[in-house]
Structure 1
Amino acid sequence: MTDERPVVTDLTDVYRSLAALVGGLTEDDGWRPTALPGWSVRDLLVHLLGDAQRALVAFGTPAPGPADRDAVTYWAGFAPSAPDPARRNRQIRVIRSLAVAHPWEALTETFAETTASVIVLANRGDPAGLLGTQGHTLTTDDLISTLVVEAAVHHLDLLTGLDRPGPPAGALRVVRETLDGLLGRPQPLGWDDTTYALTGTGRRPLTDEETRRLGDDASRFPLFA
């Protein structure tokens, strides 16, 4: 077997970290709120499981190309300036119905098994191979990068009210690089990677001083949500 590519290592670390986090929670913990208003831990875990299942499908869905998204521009479709409230409401209703239908232990075990499979296929994939997902075409490694970002940000969401470790440093670095790409420059405020992840995705509001220092770029926050 070849050595893991850095982006696959980041995916491996963040998925294993997430699996350990939810695997250490109880049935009651599954009903705790997260940083996403109205979303419980169960709801968010079902969403993350769906993302991992989508990845499995994508790895089996080669696309003719050319790529129309990369690891940064993929997130343009998730900008707050282009919301689809009806679609989001439908998604939340489906997620909640699935969240209550599965025993907690089965849900956490399925998540661990599914993400482990994603890691195996991610490592086997051609880094420059083209894959289709959500109506777009990305290279394998760009798709993997988006999975890392999604997992790292939602790992932070799950920590509300819990004394548990945060996402791995490598995964947060990928989030930072993605946010810098969307911003068009490295963020100038000296935020650590966790603060930048929370602020860049709308989990933490800008302070008045940060708004002043960002200038025109302040109106672009959150960069995606």
Structure 2
Amino acid sequence: MIRFKYSQLVNTAILGLMGVLIGLIYLAICWGLADLLAKPASYHLLRWEKQGLTLETAWQTTLTQLQWANDLEPEHPDLLELLARVHYLLAISNRGIKLQLTSLQQALDYNLKAIQQRPVSAYTWANVALLKSQLKQYDAQFETALKQAIVLGQWEPLVQHLVIEAGLVAWYQLPQSTRWLVLAAIERGMLIQPQLISALMNKYQRIYTLCAYLDLHKEHPGFAHTLSIDREPVQLIQFCQQVNLGESNS
């Protein structure tokens, strides 16, 4: 009787291990297939970001491949971000305002899902902030995304670009504390990519607004500390001085 029970336990254990092994093999196959589907889609996205979208059938195929990959490996942050990028490219491809807003919202939704899986990604937080600014969703979630991106990716050039663009778009809706964070991001950005940052300020017609705001508050006690840069915003001050000089000479 004891030997029979022992044999039964061994068989049960073996069956259990086989079940676990089959499950792991299934997961490995799913992950492998998801990777095979995602790689060409990622390649197409890089090409489209440089050259613009091509035929509608091409991006539909890419979107379908990524959706299949996401079905095989649900909630993987890399796949979610790729899906977000597809929808963002669709949003900026001149397909009409209604379709544009729909695509922007879908891109935002995928980035929000990615953040749940990878909450320390400055890049994803920055994308959330930019998308919400473009959708004019100036809420607590937007404030959180902007601040998280600034804290986690202060010196990452792409994060700086996205954060500053989001801050410039939403400038008039920002509270003073968040405006200072955006100014600090601009100050850091001017140290490593000054032409891009000045081009962004010019694009959104914020140069005189920012310089006036800076001039109004730069004498405020602890201003540099509030900007989280531990010194005066030298780059911004010099930039605004050049702007004022150019205006006086014109």
- TM band (smaller chain): 0.3 to 0.5
TM-score by length of 1: 0.33
Larger RCO (alpha carbons 8 Å, 6+ apart): 1
TM-score by length of 2: 0.30
Structure of greater Rg:
2
Higher helix share: 2
